[in-house]
Each structure stands twice: as C-alpha cells, then as structure tokens.
Amino acid sequence: MSEAVVITEVGPRDGLQNEALCLTPEQKFAWLKALAGAGLRRLEIGSFVRHDAVPQLADSDELCRRWLADEASKDIQSIALVANDKGLERALASGVPEVALLCAVSEKFNQRNIRQSVQQSLEGATSRARTAREHGRRVRIYISTAFGCPFEGPTAPARVMQVFEKVVAMECDELVFGDTLGVATPRAVRELLQGIDPACRPKVGLHFHDTYGTALANVMVGLELGYRRFDASAAGLGGCPYAAGASGNLASEDLVYVLEQEGFDTGVDLAALARASSEVLKTLKRPGSSRVRAALLSTGMEPIR
C-alpha cells in the first residue's frame, strides 16, 4: 500500500481572495462539493476577516454554515482563516472545526498585512490558538514570508526558526511554512527544512507559490526530507494581495499528479478535480495555471498512465 500524503486545498480561500471577480455563494458551495467529490479531504473554505479587506470572501459566515450543514462536508476537515479576535468569534459561531491563524517572519510584511509587529502577531495567535482549542477546534498556523519578503528580501532560516519555535509552543495541529512570494528554491527549502526536528515534521505543512516555477521542485525536497503535508490551490488560483508580483499558488492538479507518480496515495481523482476547476475558471473568466490540467484537457480528460 502506498504512503498517504495530506493535501490542504486552499483554492476556496487563498485562491479566491486574490481574484478580481467573485463567485456567488451558490457557486462556492457547488465548488466545495465538487472538491470533496474529487477526493480532497482538507478544504480551506473561507476567511473571517474584515468584509472590506477581502470582499471576495465576505459571505464566509453564510457559506460556512451552509457547507457544514450539508452531508458532503461530514468527512471533510473544513478550515477557515481568522485574522483577529472578532474573526475568531465569527469562526466559532459558524461551527467550523478548524481555524487557520496568521503570523509572519518579516516585520515589514507583518505591518503591511495585519498592521502588527511579529511579536504582536505571535501573541495574538497564541491567545486565539488557546481559545480555539478550548472550544474543541483544531488549529493550523501559517508562518508567512518563510523564504522571502517583498520588502525585506530573502528570509534567513535562523529568523524563521525563532518564529517556528514560538509557534511550536502554541501546541497547534499544523504549522505551515508559507512561501508568500514564491521565491523559494530547492536549496533554500532544504536549508530551512533540514533544520527542523524530525519529530516535528509530521505536523509541518508546506505552502508554495509557483511565481518562478519552483513549487514542485520544492515539494520534492520536502518529500525527501520526510514532510507529508502540502497546500495547493485548484487550477493554481490565487496569489497574495499584499505581495506585488506573487503569482498563483501551486496548482492542486500539478501537486496530485506528481505525488501519485512518486507513489504516494492522495485519494484524489485528478480528472474530477480538473473538471471542478473548469467551472470556476469559467466564472472567473480566466485561464488556470495548472499544466497538468491543460494536459488532461488536451487528452479529453483521459487518466494519464
């Protein structure tokens, strides 16, 4: 039997938040169903941030309630992003079983993104992680700008480790290194990841962007070093609204294809995933960035052997 990997599909949150056009709640709901139907088991479904900050996700309260009441969500680990205490209140009220919290390594990025110092954001995340756990919720914490910052340049692994150790102390269920700009390269990824205690690695997720086409090469380094949790966004949607030039997330179709070819079990039906992306891209009026999806389309969605 092949070894399992854990994919967190971030398209409905991280993907949509950087798109010019919005999906309706009905379209989002249908997409969540299609993603679950394609075999994805961890879905980041929305974001409890200020409505004016991310209007694309302003319907997250309603969407979460509707999704969590549906049979299709029952065996899915649904996650919502929370940026502050008010957001956590909304997340708890929605019933979402897992919250994603934010912190970053770069001071300047942190100031621009959430108007807080790194220390303040760590204190906020610590408090919110505790509250979420007390309410029986799982907690995932993003460590953004883990490889580079649009304002401060390359991130030194030693600085990442300082933040990482504080996040480990929060006793969260998953810690995610975010390559916010998509500037990580295999060498930088190896340098950071080999410094992590092997006992911690099963809880560490990797969130790569494909700005310079290095996301899958970075995934391979993670796999070699024993990391088994990866984020990706269907069709490669998304980017980062505060990081100019950051292009899309690693496409889920591309990640699934490579993982399966490497002998891992993702549980995902690639053709079903690619079909789900087609519906969303039609509404967003833009092409996706997944090469695997393009290849599948060119072969009439025939499974690739």
CB of 249: closest distance to Mg ion in angstroms? 4
Residue keyed to tokens 């169903």: 33
Which lies closer to Mg ion via its Cβ, residue 13 or residue 166?
13
CB of 209: closest distance to Mg ion in angstroms? 6
- Contact yes or no for 90/119 (Cβ under 8 A): no
Check residue 3 and report its DSSP letter. P
Distances (CA, A) of 135 to 6, 49, 83, 131, 181: 24, 20, 17, 6, 33
First and final C-alpha spacing in the chain: 18
- Quick check: 249 binds Mg ion (CB under 5 A)? yes
Q: Which stretch binds Mg ion (CB under 5 A): 6-14, 43-51, 263-271, 273-281?
A: 6-14
Which lies closer to Mg ion via its Cβ, residue 98 or residue 210?
210
Q: Which stretch binds Mg ion (CB under 5 A): 13-21, 59-67, 194-202, 217-225?
A: 13-21
Cα separation, 5 vs 201, in Å, equals: 13
Which lies closer to Mg ion via its Cβ, residue 139 or residue 146?
146
Question: 9, 14, 179, 253: which one contacts Mg ion (CB under 5 A)?
Answer: 14
Cα separation, 226 vs 188, in Å, equals: 16
Which lies closer to Mg ion via its Cβ, residue 8 or residue 73?
8
Catalytic residue among 64, 149, 172, 240: 240
Which lies closer to Mg ion via its Cβ, residue 23 or residue 271?
23
CB of 95: closest distance to Mg ion in angstroms? 25
CB of 69: closest distance to Mg ion in angstroms? 28
CB of 207: closest distance to Mg ion in angstroms? 6
Q: Answer yes or no: 64 catalytic.
A: no
Which lies closer to Mg ion via its Cβ, residue 153 or residue 241?
241
Neighbours of 175 (CB within 10 A): 22
Q: Which stretch binds Mg ion (CB under 5 A): 85-93, 196-204, 249-257, 293-301?
A: 249-257
Q: Which stretch binds Mg ion (CB under 5 A): 88-96, 157-165, 243-251, 278-286?
A: 243-251
* Residues 6 or more apart in contact with residue 143 via CB below 8 angstroms: 103, 104, 105, 160, 163, 164, 167, 175, 176, 177, 178
CB of 208: closest distance to Mg ion in angstroms? 8
Cα separation, 236 vs 70, in Å, equals: 26
Check residue 117 and report its DSSP letter. -
Q: Taking CB under 5 A as the criterion, which residues in 51-70 touch Mg ion?
A: none
Cα separation, 121 vs 242, in Å, equals: 17
Residue 278 φ/ψ region, left for φ over 0, alpha for ψ in the -120 to 50 degree band, beta for the rest: alpha
Q: What are phi and psi of 179, to 5 degrees?
A: -90, 80
Q: Which stretch binds Mg ion (CB under 5 A): 7-15, 65-73, 97-105, 140-148?
A: 7-15
Residues that contact Mg ion, how many (by CB under 5 A): 2
Residues of the shown chain interacting with Mg ion in the complex, contacts defined by CB under 5 A: 14, 249
Would you please indicate which residues are annotated as catalytic (active-site) residues? 240
